[in-house]
Amino acid sequence: MSAHPSTTATLDQAPPAAPSAAAVTPDARISLRGHLRHTGALVRRNLLWIRQDPESMFDAVLFPVVFTLLFVYVFGGSIGQSLGGGQQAYVQYVVPGLMAMMGMNMAQGVGTGFNQDFNSGVMDRFRSLPIGRGSVLFAKIAVELLRMLFATVVLLVVALLVGFDITDWGGLLASVGLSAVFGSALMWVFLTLGVIMKSAQSVQAMGFLVLMPLQFGSSIFAPTQSMPGWLQGFTDYNPLSSLADTARGLMVGGPVAHDLWVTLAWSVALTAVMAPVAIHKFRTKS
């Protein structure tokens, strides 16, 4: 979960130009078509940077491999016994949980990369251009979602190799889509952190403090029935538990409706609250 290199660092290295009259045009004067065009151009630039710097994809490749092998072969036997089926039962349990976890870990990367862009002067360059300010943020999220989808493909390949049985392809696609929805909502939180915190290391440390309790205080890695009562109360309101249980129900069978609505409610609430905050902080950051 380390910070990957900034995906916008290939902007011209010349000192930022003085803002022109067009450059300071408020977003309200830019049409929706203009915003979409700007977002597409920034997405393309970010993808070109990834092609030039393949190391920025190491986390998307290694995270699903390491976590899948670690939890299946270290904890799979013991936890699988409690599930009544040994290691194979645990594979069916943990893979949907890891898929739910994917968007959250990718979300942390967007915050650290965004902060690095500020500290390297890339954002000063953006401010001198006549583009919609929101386009910069939406492009960041779009590229990170593509990275998340790539990481999910890697996860599924490894999962198939260790014995995961996909029984419902429609449920699998629905789980990927739901993870992307929740992950994009969480990215607004980390974009905000990327703006307000002074360094990428601070964003990473804050992300670690927030994400670790959410990850391990959930149903991602193990059933919650054996947890202490106070911790079960926390897992009941943990959105990662709802997301993992929904993915599990969609992919291997089980109840879905309640956890699905809880996950969607969290996603809408996070986006509605944090997206305006992130855009405002980005516009006003000195």
Burial 189-223 (b: 16+ CB within 10 A, else e): bbbbbbbebeebebbbebbeebbeebbebbbbbbe
pLDDT along the chain (286 residues), means of 10: 44 42 50 76 83 82 90 87 84 90 80 80 70 79 90 93 89 92 92 87 85 88 86 88 93 88 95 91 77
| Assigned domain for 204 exists | yes
Judge contact between 122 and 45, C-beta under 8 A.
Answer: no
Domain-located, residue 77? yes
Determine the Cα–Cα distance for residues 279 and 264; give it in Å rounded to an integer. Answer: 22
Domain count, the chain: 1
In a domain, 223, yes or no: yes
Q: Is residue 2 part of a domain?
A: no
12, part of any domain: no
Q: pTM above 0.85?
A: no
Using the structure block, give the residue that is written with the tokens 């710097």. Answer: 53
If you compute the radius of gyration of the chain from its CA atoms, what whole number of angstroms results?
20
**162 lies in some domain:** yes
pLDDT for 117 equals 77
Q: Which two tokens stand for residue 5?
A: 């290199």
Supply the DSSP symbol for 52.
H
The confidence score (pLDDT) of residue 158 equals 94
Predicted pLDDT at 121 = 73
Asked whether residue 180 is assigned to any structural domain, the reply reads yes
Q: Which domain holds residue 277?
A: 27-284
Identify whether 48 is part of a domain.
Answer: yes
* Nearest CA-CA partner of 282 in 160, 136, 77: 136
* pLDDT (0 to 100) of residue 2: 45
